[in-house]
Amino acid sequence: MIEDVEAERAYWDASVAEDTRGELFSVPSIDGWEVGIDACLAQILPALTPALRKEGTILDLGCGIGRLTLPLAEAFPECSFVGVDISPRMVAEARAEAKKRGVRNARFMLGNGRTLPRTLPRLWGAFSVLTLQHLPAEAQEGYIRAVAGKLEPGGVARLQFVTSEVDHFLSHGVSPDAVREWCVVAGLSVESVELGAVDESWGWITAVRR
C-alpha cells in the first residue's frame, strides 16, 4: 500500500508542474475546466445547503489546487473550508492562490492518501469530486468511514464516484450499490444516489450522519 500511495503522490506532484491549461480539473464530457467547475458546484451546493447554514467547517476531500474549495469559501465567508490532498505541490498551490485572492476562511492540509489528518475538526459537511475514482475500492471505503466519523450528527456528505468497470492505477470504478453499502455501514443515511450527472460514468451520493 505504501508503494501505491507514493506512486499516486509522485504522479499528482508531477502533474502540477506540467499543468498549463487547467487539466488538473478536467471533466471528461465538458470542454473547459471553468465550465466543469460550474457543473460540479451545481451538483454540490444543493446537497450542502444544510451544512452551509450551520456556518461550520466543510471538507473538500482531494481538493487539488483548490478549484472548488476557493469559490465556495468566497461565496460563503461565514463558513470554514478545509481542503485535504495527498500532493504537497497541490497544497502549496492552493495556499498560494488563497493568499493571492485574500481568502481567509479556507485552509489546506496535506493528507497521507488513505486517512484524514488527525487535526481535522468536526465537520458539518464534506464533498469530494474527481478523487475517489483515483483510489482502489478499499481506499474509497476507508475514506467514507473516515468522513462519517468526522461528521456531526446531521452533517452531510456529497461524494462523486465513477461507475465504470475499470480497475487500474488511478482509475477505479465501483458499483453504486457498493458505495451505498459503505455509507450505511459507516453510520450514514443515504438520501440519494444519482447516475450520469455531469458525466455518464459518474455517480453522486448524498448521505447524512445519523
Is a pLDDT exceeding 70 seen at residue 21? no
The predicted-structure confidence for 118-130, as pLDDT tens digits, reads as follows 999 999 999 999 9
Percent of the chain with pLDDT over 70: 97
φ/ψ region of 5 (left if φ > 0, alpha if ψ in -120 to 50, else beta) reads alpha
> Which candidate, 48, 49, 21, places its Cα nearest to that of 33?
21
Q: What is the pLDDT of residue 74?
A: 98
CA angle at 47 for the pair 198 and 65, rounded to the nearest 5°: 65
Q: Which residue has the higher pLDDT, 144 or 21?
A: 144
The backbone torsions φ and ψ at residue 153, rounded to the nearest 5 degrees and listed phi first, read: -55, 125
Is a pLDDT exceeding 70 seen at residue 96? yes
Q: What is the pLDDT of residue 170?
A: 95
Q: Determine which of 20-34, 62-76, 167-181 has the lowest per-residue pLDDT on average.
A: 20-34
- As a whole number, mean pLDDT of residues 5-27 equals 80
Q: What is the pLDDT of residue 18?
A: 72
Q: What is the pLDDT of residue 16?
A: 87
The predicted-structure confidence for 43-94, as pLDDT tens digits, reads as follows 999 999 999 999 999 999 999 999 999 999 999 999 999 999 999 999 999 9
The predicted-structure confidence for 193-207, as pLDDT tens digits, reads as follows 999 999 999 999 999
> Domain 2-209 adopts which CATH fold?
Rossmann fold (3.40.50)
Is a pLDDT exceeding 60 seen at residue 20? no
Rounded Cα distance, 107 and 96, in Å: 11
pLDDT band at 19, cuts 50/70/90? low
